[in-house]
Amino acid sequence: MTRSIGDKVVAITGASSGIGEATARRLAQSGAKVVLGARRTDRLDRIVSEIKAAGGDAVACTLDVTQRSSVYAFVEAAVATFGRLDVFINNAGVMLVSPLGEFKVDEWDQMFDVNVKGVLNGIAAALPVMQRQEDGHIINLSSVAGHKVAPGFTVYCGTKFAVGAISEGLRQEAGPGIRCTVISPGAVQTELSSHIAAGAAKDAVDAMYATAALSPDAIAQAVVYAVSQSADVDVNEILIRPTAQN
Ligand code: NDP
């Protein structure tokens, strides 16, 4: 059965800023009921208030994607509030760029914990609900960095290549009625690079973003496109770069 976007319940991880926030706003404008998760709940509360003031339907939930119990609670909250879960967007991510030779092993751990294990936690929590419904859609945020490797981005690229592989396996294994989409953006103007430690790597990333970066809403529109298709259409991947990006 094809549900219109206005009948869908969508849960989004990392919805307190950037692409997640823009996607929550776009989907709510399109009539979807949105469940926003992240750690900064003050941000989520403000976004939810603004969505509601504009006539949308949204709730905020505290969420740490590295904690499996937190992700299960997030999905349970979505189902308890709106009665079902149609779309789960694994958007939360961190990009901590540095040359391998600096051995910032704690940052390597953090990227794999959020970008890979966080996605697996999302699948573990959301997929059983969708399998019971025989209907659902999991959308994973990868990146152009999930397609090509650049010096300094090695571990981040490793996490995003993993997201691509996990998504393709999920697409094949998920079962009847369940779709999987990978969204792979190029540079997007968000808070993502603000967590990189000061130094040459951060300067290079800042220069790249200053040259060409999309608005988060450009990615939100790609998500809306994937979510709006009829039930027999699975948009497997959208790769979307600024025109000026190499
Ligand atoms: P932002 O930094 O603006 O947003 C990242 C989001 O992830 C925040 O809402 C943050 O919320 C959340 N987050 C981080 N850690 C956790 C955690 N442990 N648990 C729950 N939420 C967490 O960056 P973007 O919007 O750019 O990033 C969104 C996704 O897009 C990421 O997966 C990123 O890799 C991907 N991407 C971004 C690109 C870009 O150029 N911006 C390009 C390609 C892909 P909080 O801190 O409140 O928990």
User: Dihedral (C-alpha) 110, 112, 113, 114: value to the nearest 10 degrees?
Assistant: 90
Tell me, yes or no, whether 238 lies in a domain: no
In 3D, which of 83, 107, 112 has the Cα closest to residue 96?
Answer: 107
> Is residue 97 left, alpha or beta, with left meaning phi > 0 and alpha meaning psi from -120 to 50?
beta
Residue 128 is part of which domain span? 5-230
Contact 227, 32 (CB under 8 A): yes
Ligand 1 site, residue 40, Cβ cutoff 6 A: yes
pTM above 0.95, yes or no: yes
Average pLDDT over residues 119-134: 98
Residue 240 falls inside a structural domain: no
Centre of ligand 1 to C-alpha 95, Å, is 8
Interval 43-101: pLDDT, tens: 999 999 999 999 999 999 999 999 999 999 999 999 999 999 999 999 999 999 999 99
Provide the domain count of the chain: 1
Q: Going edge to edge, which strands form the sheet with 57-62?
A: 57-62, 33-38, 9-13, 87-90, 136-141, 178-185, 237-240
What's the average model confidence in pLDDT over 150-163?
A: 97
Mean of pLDDT over the chain: 97
Burial class for 209, CB neighbours closer than 10 Å (0-12, 13-18, 19+): middle
Q: 3-state class of 118 per DSSP?
A: helix
Closest CA to 58 of 26, 28, 88: 28
Q: What is the pLDDT of residues 204-240, one digit of tens each?
A: 999 999 999 999 999 999 999 999 999 999 999 999 9
d(C-alpha 135, C-alpha 124), whole Å: 16
Task: State the Cα–Cα distance between residues 190 and 193, nearest whole angstrom.
Answer: 7
CA–CA distance from 234 to each of 9, 97, 141, 178, 237 (Å)?
18, 33, 16, 9, 9
- Identify the pLDDT of residue 129: 98
Is there an atom of ligand 1 within 6 Å of 116 CB? no
| 146 pocket-lining for ligand 1 (C-beta < 6 Å) | no
- For ligand 1, whether the C-beta of 195 sits within 6 Å is no
Compute the distance between CA of residue 24 and CA of residue 102 in angstroms, rounded to an integer. 37
Please tell me the distance between residue 92's alpha carbon and the centre of ligand 1 in angstroms: 4
Distances (CA, A) of 187 to 49, 94, 127, 191, 212: 29, 14, 30, 12, 7
CATH at residue 95 = 3.40.50.720
Q: Is 89 helix (H, G, I), strand (E, B) or coil?
A: strand
User: What does the alpha-carbon distance between residue 164 and residue 42 come to, in Å, rounded to a whole number?
Assistant: 32
Q: Which conformational region is residue 189 in: left (phi greater than 0), alpha (psi within -120 to 50 degrees), or beta? A: beta
Quick: pLDDT tens for 185-213.
999 999 999 999 988 889 999 999 999 99
CA 1 to ligand 1 centroid distance, Å: 32
User: Closest residue (by CA) to atom 19 of ligand 1?
Assistant: 64
User: Within a domain: residue 235?
Assistant: no
Per the domain annotation, does 237 fall within a domain?
A: no
Q: Which residues are catalytic?
A: 156
Residue 165 clears pLDDT 90, i.e. is over it: yes
Q: What are the beta bridge partners of residue 63? A: none
What is the ipTM score, two decimals? 0.99
Inside any domain, residue 223:
yes
Q: Domain for residue 239, yes or no?
A: no
